[in-house]
Chains A and B, each alone.
Chain A
Amino acid sequence: MSVIKKAIETVAHVMPDRDRDKLADQHRFLGQPIDRLDGHSKVTGAAPFSAEYPVDGLFHAALAYSTISRGAIKSIDTSAAERSTGVIKVITHLNAPEMKVPKPISAQGEPSAGATEVRILNTDQISWDGQPVAIVVADTEDRAEYAASLIKVVYAAERGMNSFEEAIPSAKKPKQVLGEDPEVTNGDADKVFSSAKNRVDLKFTTPPYNHNAIEPHAAIAIWHPDEKLTVYDTSQFTAGTANSLVDIFGLKKDSVRLISTYVGGGFGGKGCLWAYNQLAVLAARMTGKPVRLALSREGVFRLVGGRTPSQQRVAIAADDSGHISAFIHEGVTAQSTDNNFPEQFSFPPRHLYAMATYLIGQEVCEVNRVANTFMRAPGESIGTFAVESAMDALSYQLGIDPVELRMRNEPEKDPVSGNEFSGRHMREAYRMGAEKFGWKNRPAAVRSQREGESLIGQGVATGTYPMYRMVSAARVRINADGTALIESSAQEMGMGTATVQTQHAAELLGLPMEKVQFDYGDSTLPWAGVAGGSSQTVSIALAVQQAAEKVLKELLSLVHKDSMSVLKSAGIDNVRMANEGIFRKEQPLVGETYAQILKRAKKDFVAAEHTTGPPMEIMKYSMHSYAAQFCEVRVHEQTGEVRLNRWVGAFDAGRILNPKMAMSQFRGGIIMGIGMALTEETVFDDRTGRIVNPSLAEYHLPVQADVPPIDIVYTDIPDPHTPMGARGIGEIGITGVAAAIANAVYHATGKRVTSLPITLDKLL
């Protein structure tokens, strides 16, 4: 651990906690199953996505991509493309102006969103198969795309590191993994393991995956006089993307307005700046026209990175009663030659079980592939597959029920950091899930249930995902008409941001929801962090709360000047915001509405902005959400086809703010996990490093028929150290899913599949 980090953690431990958020116990809007506020616009097709903004005189850009993974461009023939009907410009590394490489994605300080260090269109060097080599701008999209297909490139190809397997021997321990040590140890886990009586030792592989949001990435770039720029984009990080565009093009701060009101799914794939938006801006600059660049589905596969493949080993030793005496989790992920993202698969066991000794660490190797990036629960999704499959194997070896085995290893404190848990109710989640699922009726023996031609099995696994909070800003404004405006550059990609932030602000300010407007998705608003790490809801809520406190102080200073006010002697500690105004805590009927205060003070509004401090609470406490995933599979005995009969997800994720939308988040995560477990894989041709199946026809997302009935239960116990008592819920749903399915397949068939996806050929 670095000296600086150690110092910060020490400070974190002596700093006082924030007061428990009183909103955690309020139920007027928070905790209610309120319909999505943007529902009407989405079901009528009125919600505009980034490619759909009507812009006069819009031109269209299309990309040509490299077809080698490593080497140099020897020559590039654009003549046919230039002659093609409707084409006004072809841009390559030969005529593109110098652009700065954006800083890697970060929400700290000046936000940035870089995905790769590759100098897109500013170099003749090729680093991955799919790297853009030319942009064609034409008057229609069809014409641009056709002309792009006419570009001929001659390469001086070199042999790239195209295969993950081949790269594994060169893997190294990274300096850090998401700010954490790449390896943590306690005692001599190897020694304990090798002399233990009860042990499992399994190797796992997970393939590359792609996010495949149904909306492909698209941006419209419009330059204005004075070097100002408007970009309509589909982004999980408006602030970072806008600020990186400022850097790339050497513009004045705040000269870029990036608008991203609706995002057609992200899942991590729209967090970084994946060059299409940069190239739309470049094309607009070089043609003097507004330009749209909408990626094809294949283009998304070629240009936007996905989840790394991994190879993992989990070795666990336990005594006869199931208590873990040694836990070993190690393995390798891949990253590209031009980015730095060792996906944190080794994080889950650092927080899950009481372990006498442990050795938990990871390495990373480099491949000539598109830069990998975060995809829904990076680390925890693939890490829990390995860890929880191994725990399942251990349960059979010990003859202890898999649920019971986990309960026996519940830790009192975080097993690695030694920190107290902020709120851990794993036992309750398991109890609720097991009851809903009917776990007690499950026969312990494998291969003991049958339904027609299929074998039936039930499996369970733990899911876990950390609580993060990002430094974020928000502005709160209360108007003289009694309405409030909340502003943040935050992102809405289906999580329900707009709705839940409106619920929160209405609850906080004591207003009906109709009187609260939440504006978001615009980089000119106060900067929110990236919509990632399941952090957005609480990150913005805290900024709103702290800004609202400033507004309250401002309002109180107004009433204090007013001798007529019933609040003139009231201090901030003896009032609360309620009933559309400020009222005394002890005398709830004594107070004034915001409208009364502001009208008398002859003010149109009061407003305040606030940027939150860093998340010291997660240094002090072990803050995580948990899941108990239960499922039943049927495996065709002859063909090996695996289908799901039913699912129960039980969650301990703090307070649930909107049960209707939360249900969708949990189920959505589970369904992405079903794809991860059974059908999805981005196939790279190891000879060339080229993606073989860059299409939704051959990359198999789960369809309706693959998805069983899914029941969700949750503890709904507020976390005392988070805004509203909530922890994020965007990612916890996918964790543990692949393991639960693999474990159910084992229960059904007696076959343990350790490589994803569990396709039928692995069960024949």
Chain B
Amino acid sequence: MNNFTYSSAIDTNSALKLFSESPDANATRFLAGGTNLIDLMREGIEQPQSLVDITRLPLAEVQQLPDGGLRIGAMVRNSHLAAHPLVRQKYPLLSQAILMGASAQLRNMATTGGNLMQRTRCYYFYDGAAACNKRVPGSGCDALEGFNRIHAILGASSKCIATHPSDMCVALAALDASVNISGPSGERRVPFTDFHRLPGDTPEIDTNLQRGELITSIDLPASSSGLPSTYRKVRDRASYAFALVSVAAALRVEGGMIREVRLALGGVSHKPWRASVAEQFLQGKKPTPDNFSRAAAAELAPAVPRKHNAFKVELAKRTIALALSALAGDAPSSNAGGAR
């Protein structure tokens, strides 16, 4: 790891100021829990000259919003968020997704804002000796013809087939969250599903956050509160492993018809994948296994499998159907990945 200048901010303004005063904005990073950034720095993938520590910012609260929604401070630790009574009560999907990610130690360190900024676990991104357009734009992509078992099947490009590793973000995508951002030119708010990007021709850019901007909080709308929901994660180990496929699902059935459905996928794309095709298919239909399967098939129709990840297409379809069936009461709601 290269050495760097370290400074610690006490509030959002001082954080933005310290960032803007650093000699090179492109070589400056905000440092929160460090669980991903420090790892990437140790691997030489990130080599910042300046770090601005934001862990002391007063953004560690979960607040109820006047409309019944929740505002989650960017510095709320993942473990605290998952255990927060309001989250467990109103947005259990979020709690569940967080608890299926990483380990207890990492969740005690990692922050809400930092979770959004996680970078891919692509082997070739992590390996400085490999070609990777995300790490070194224009250098090529060794994953395309390499070992790509964990890679994307939806929304990938010829430049990059990396996936986003977060579980929490999959839940946030399903919950219609939005991201509050402060920057040199003021504050703005971005719908969660617009926060992360598909790789296209610029896989080096993961998100629509601009240099020097800071995530201050995440808002969860009241409309997502109290939905029957489940987070289903399929992985190689029973715990402490990234998702091969994960599904965040919420379903409200009234009068035998689907009144509301939310569906997002993890492990399949460069961003948390909101499955809007499947959602549209299901709207107003009967909650039957057949409809769930057809919705899943429609969502996965544009999937582009590679040599080692073709199984993900079928796995994603089945996991969608399992999650929705569980919510529709057709199957036990236990998660197969967990210990018995």
Q: How far is the CA of A565 from the CA of B103 in the complex (A)?
A: 68
| A146 and B1 form a contact (CB under 8 A) | yes
CA distance A757 to B24 in the complex (A): 47
Contact (Cβ within 8 A) A760 B234: yes
Which residues of B (319-340) have their CB < 8 Å from a CB of A? Answer: 319, 321-322, 331-332, 334, 336-340
What is the CB-to-nearest-CB distance from A62 to chain B, in angstroms, rounded to a whole number? 11
CA gap between A146 and B44 in the complex, in Å: 8
Least Cβ distance of A180 to chain B in Å?
35
Instruction: Give CA–CA (A375, B94) in the complex, Å.
Output: 42
Q: What are the interface flags for A713-725 relative to B under an 8 Å C-beta threshold, 1 for contact and 0 otherwise?
A: 0000000000000
In the complex, B314 has a CB within 8 A of chain A: yes
Which listed residue, B3, B129, B321, touches A146 by the CB 8 Å rule? B3
Is B195 on the interface with A (CB-CB < 8 A)? Answer: no
Contacts of A705 in B (CB 8 A): 237-240, 338-339
- Complex CA–CA separation, A142 to B38 (angstroms): 13
Query: Do A452 and B236 contact each other (CB < 8 Å), given the known contacts A639-B318, A697-B121?
Result: no
Docked pose: A420 CA to B182 CA in angstroms: 80
Q: Does A703 contact B (CB under 8 A)?
A: yes
Known: A640-B315, A705-B240. 5 other contacts (CB 8 A): A146-B1, A636-B336, A697-B121, A700-B241, A705-B338
Cα(A634)–Cα(B336), bound, Å: 10
B121-A698 in contact (CB<8A): yes
B318 touches A643 (CB 8 A): no
Provided the pairs A690-B129, A764-B314 are in contact, do residues A685 and B236 lie with their beta carbons within 8 angstroms? no
Q: Which residues of A contact B319 (CB under 8 A)?
A: 638-639
Partner of B315, one of A67, A142, A760: A760
Taking CB as reference atom, which chain A residue is nearest B149?
Answer: A761
Report if B158 contacts A (CB, 8 A). Answer: no
> Is A693 interfacial (CB 8 A cutoff)?
yes
Q: Select one of A146, A454, A759 contacting B336, CB under 8 A.
A: A454
Whether A703 lies near B311 (C-beta < 8 A) is no
Question: Does B147 reach chain A (CB closer than 8 Å)?
Answer: yes
Give chain A nearest CB distance to B268 CB in angstroms.
14
In the bound complex, residues from chain A placing their C-beta under 8 Å from that of B146 are: 685, 687, 692
CB pair B241 A690 closer than 8 Å: no
Which chain B positions have C-beta within 8 A of A639?
A: 234, 315, 318-319, 322, 336
CB atoms of B145 and A700 under 8 A apart: no
Cβ of B123 < 8 Å from any Cβ of A?
yes
**Number of A residues, CB within 8 Å of B:** 38
In the assembled complex, B244 has its CB within 8 A of some CB on chain A = yes
Bound-complex Cα distance A698 to B121 (A): 9
Assess whether B127 is interfacial by the CB under 8 Å rule. Answer: yes
Output the residue of A643, A692, A695 with the most chain B CB within 10 A: A692
Interface membership of B2, Cβ < 8 A: yes
Instruction: Select B237's contact among A145, A695, A702, beta carbons within 8 Å.
Output: A702
Residue contact A145 to B340, C-beta cutoff 8 Å: no
Residues in A whose Cβ lies below 8 Å from that of B318: 638-639, 764
Task: Name 10 A/B residue pairs within 8 A (Cβ), A-sorted.
Answer: A142-B1, A142-B3, A636-B336, A639-B322, A679-B236, A683-B147, A700-B241, A703-B240, A704-B239, A761-B149
Scan A135-147; emit 1 where CB is below 8 A from any B CB, else 0: 0000000100110
Give the complex CA separation of A702 and B236 in angstroms: 10
Q: Which residues of B contact A38 (CB under 8 A)?
A: none
Chain B residue nearest in CB terms to A143: B3
The yes or no answer to A711 lying at the interface (CB within 8 A) is no
Min Cβ gap A381→B in Å is 20
A698 to B147 CA separation, bound complex (whole angstroms): 12
Closest 8 CB pairs of A and B: A761-B311, A705-B239, A705-B238, A67-B129, A636-B336, A638-B318, A692-B123, A705-B339
Contacts of B121 in A (CB 8 A): 697-698
Residue of A nearest to B44 (CB): A149
Number of interface residues of B (CB under 8 A): 41
Which residues in window 617-658 of A have CB below 8 A to B? 634, 636, 638-641, 643, 645
Closest to B123 in A: A692
Question: By the criterion CB–CB under 8 Å, are A700 and B336 in contact?
Answer: no
Bound Cα distance A641, B336 (Å): 8
- How far apart are the CA atoms of A171 and B240 in the complex, in Å? 39
From A85, A145, A683, A687, give the contact of B145 (CB < 8 A).
A687
Q: Which residues of A contact B128 (CB under 8 A)?
A: 149
Q: How far is the CB of A540 from chain B (nearest CB, A)?
A: 37
Instruction: Determine the residue in chain A with the shortest Cβ distance to B238.
Output: A705
A146 neighbours in B (Cβ, 8 Å): 1-3
| A703–B105 CA distance with the chains assembled, in angstroms | 14
- Inter-chain CA distance A638–B242, complex, in Å, is 19
> With A and B bound together, what is the CA distance between A636 and B331 in angstroms?
13
The residue in chain B whose Cβ has the minimal distance to the Cβ of A65 is B129
Closest to B235 in A: A641
The answer, yes or no, to whether A453 is at the interface (CB within 8 Å) is yes
Residues of A within 8 A of B149 (CB): 761
A706 interface residue per 8 A CB criterion = yes
1/0 per residue, CB under 8 A from B, across A247-273: the answer is 000000000000000000000000000
**Residues of chain B at the chain A interface (Cβ within 8 Å):** 1-3, 44, 121, 123-124, 126-130, 142, 145-147, 149, 234, 236-242, 244, 311, 314-315, 318-319, 321-322, 331-332, 334, 336-340
B147 touches A452 (CB 8 A): no
CB atoms of A764 and B3 under 8 A apart: no
Assess the A706–B238 pair: CB atoms within 8 A: yes
Residue of A636, A678, A761 contacting most chain B CB atoms (<10 Å): A761
Q: Is the CB of B238 within 8 A of A452?
A: no
User: Are the CB atoms of A641 and B337 closer together than 8 Å?
Assistant: yes
Contact indicator B147/A453 (Cβ below 8 Å) = no
B21 to chain A, nearest CB (A): 24
CA distance A676 to B237 in the complex (A): 12
**A residues in contact with B332, CB < 8 Å:** 452-453
Q: How far is the CA of A277 from the CA of B35 in the complex (A)?
A: 31
Contacts of A67 in B (CB 8 A): 129
Q: Which residues from chain B contact A149 at a C-beta distance below 8 Å?
A: 44, 128
- Complex: A404 Cα to B2 Cα, angstroms: 63
A689 to chain B, nearest CB (A): 12
Chain A 660-685 interface 0/1 with B at a Cβ cutoff of 8 Å (1 = within): 00000000000000000011000101
Contact of A690 among B127, B238, B336, B337 (CB under 8 A): B127
Given A145-B1, A146-B1, A705-B238, residue A692 in contact with residue B336 (CB < 8 A): no
| B336 touching A453, Cβ below 8 Å | yes
Question: Complex Cα distance A645/B238, Å?
Answer: 12
Per the bound structure, the CA–CA distance linking A388 and B115 in Å amounts to: 45
Contacts of A706 in B (CB 8 A): 237-239
Given contacts A146-B3, A685-B146, A693-B123, contact A700 B237 (CB under 8 A): yes
Task: State the Cβ distance, B339 to closest chain A Cβ, in Å.
Answer: 5
B230 → chain A closest CB, angstroms: 13
Once the chains are docked, how many angstroms separate the CA of A142 from the CA of B319? 44
> Bound state CA distance, A241 and B339, in angstroms?
43
Contact check, B3 vs A85: say whether CB atoms are below 8 A apart: yes
Tell me the smallest distance from the CB of B231 to a CB of chain A, in Å.
Answer: 14
CB pair A760 B244 closer than 8 Å? yes
Chain B proximity of A714: nearest CB distance (Å): 27
Contacting pair A759 B239 (CB below 8 A): no
**Are A692 and B147 touching (Cβ within 8 A)?**
yes
What's the minimum C-beta distance from A423 to chain B, rounded to whole angstroms?
A: 38
Choose among A453, A634, A759 the residue that contacts B236 (Cβ–Cβ < 8 A): A759
A356 to B339, CA, bound (A): 46
Q: Per-residue 0/1 for A18-49: is the Cβ within 8 Å of any B Cβ (1 yes, 0 no)?
A: 00000000000000000000000000000000
| A 452-470 binary contact with B (CB < 8 Å = 1; else 0) | 1110000000000000000
Query: Do residues A760 and B236 form an inter-chain contact, with CB atoms below 8 A?
Result: yes
From residue B105, how far is it (CB to closest CB) to chain A in Å?
Answer: 13
B238, A643: Cβ atoms closer than 8 Å: yes
Measured CB to CB, the nearest residue on chain A to B244 is: A760
Q: Chain A residues with Cβ under 8 A from B130's Cβ?
A: 690
Chain B residues, CB < 8 A from A685: 142, 146-147
- In the bound assembly, the distance between CA atoms of A142 and B321 in angstroms comes to 49
Assess whether B237 is in contact with A703, with CB atoms less than 8 Å apart: yes
Minimum CB–CB distance from B4 to chain A (whole Å) comes to: 11
A293 to chain B, nearest CB (A): 17
